[in-house]
Amino acid sequence: MSTIQVTDISGLRGRVSLPGDKSISHRAVMISSIAEGKSSVSNLLDGLDCRATIDAFSNMGIVITQGSDKAYTIEGKGLRGLTEPRSDLYLGNSGTTMRLLLGMLAGSGFRAVLCGDDSLSKRPMKRVTSPLRLMGAKIEGGDDGNLAPLIINPGRLGPIEYDSPVASAQVKSAILLAGLYADGTTKVTEPYRSRDHTERMLRLFGADVTQERLSASVRGLDDSNLTSQRIVVPGDISSAAFFITLGIMADDSEIILTSCGINPTRTGILTVVERMGADVELTNQNNGFEPYADIVIKSSSLKATKVTEDEVPLLIDEIPLIALLGTAAEGTTVIEGCGELRVKETDRVNSIVTNLKAMGADIESEGDSIIIKGPCRLKGASAESFGDHRTAMMMVIAGSVAEGTTTVNDTECIATSFPDFMDTLRCLIP
């Protein structure tokens, strides 16, 4: 078990080149694989989760070649070009891979078994398998299709109009990807807006996708195919959020994050920190199929805020950091509607409250809400990652602005999404 020790740091300066966006990287590999021809994907995230996606499609007959500087060539075989995997598709800890693959393989015409590590095997999949079964998918698994391993058998899909009980880009994406194999138009409506990376990328590759308020629709492709593309994956704003938080909380600091994705369905973290009074500026903005910009962050004094349930899908991965920022803010910060965090790699509500309380924070959870009273001076402590990459990195940042030394235990999980996290942090320290 690896550990990381950090102490209070200040005077941070530098430019940070971020790893490729994890959500976009997954989708780039998946959709390139079912497009016709060779796609080029640059700045694809080289983390364990995305490696699980690459390995899965390699197992289904797709040739994926890594070149220099995180650039990949993916030789797509068209909508029905995937072949039955040679072995079970082991997806490690990647919930995104499992849920999106369930949709993509539901209409593939062959048998596949999807499995993962102990953590992934406990995560709820019925939110995906239930609507897919409504489309005609034949999926078996533990607890009536809720728990991996999951077996997908050949089935003929039909379109549906589905009102999702949760705002989840993974659920929405699984249904839309299955909709490519259905004869007609498949529509998903959510209670709140979630990430739209799948819709954007499907449209880029030539799919007939429409979006209207809280709904997204896709028309089945029949005998036509998606067309290969050249993609540059922008920097991951969920990875950027750790350094946004650090730049705000560390004394006498100014950090520039380059070419970071600013998709409007992902920038909830920017909205919240600006509302708290943070000095954050976007420069060099560029609009492509996924917009990006440089983000300049300076040390700031903060005031408390309230994050409402409808905002949570736009910053679901950044909630631990908002809780950390709340410890430095004047007043009571409330984060509502955090129930989805309880079914991540770990119960993140528990990991946030447990770790920050050990550092002296005045923080509690009430149902699906987190309440933080600030400001308070955090003190170094021993922290647990609970096997969760975002918890581990959040506690490294907390330790970097706390008094004394903080030890974060079980940090191998950081490689899931940000293998160079510590090297990036060290480059900013004077």
CA distances from 189 to 146, 160, 177, 211, 260 (A): 22, 11, 15, 10, 28
Within 10 Å of residue 201's Cβ, how many Cβ atoms?
24
DSSP H/E element including 373: strand 369-374
The C-alpha atoms of residue 261 and residue 267 are separated, in whole angstroms, by 9
Residue 343 and residue 359: Cα distance in Å, rounded? 24
Task: Kindly give, in sequence order, each residue whose CB lies less than 8 Å from that of residue 314, ignoring residues fewer than 6 positions away.
Answer: 193, 194, 195, 265, 266, 267, 268, 271
Could you give phi then psi for residue 259, rounded to 5 degrees? 50, 50
Distance of alpha carbon 159 from the chain centroid: 27
- H-run or E-run covering 428: helix 421-428
Cβ–Cβ < 8 Å for 220, 184: yes
In the set 21, 49, 236, 317, the catalytic residue is 317
Handedness of CA 3, 8, 14, 20 (dihedral sign): positive
250's CB contacts (< 8 A; 6+ apart) are 9, 10, 11, 12, 299, 400, 401
For the question of residue 317 being annotated catalytic, the response is yes
Residues annotated catalytic, as ranges: 317
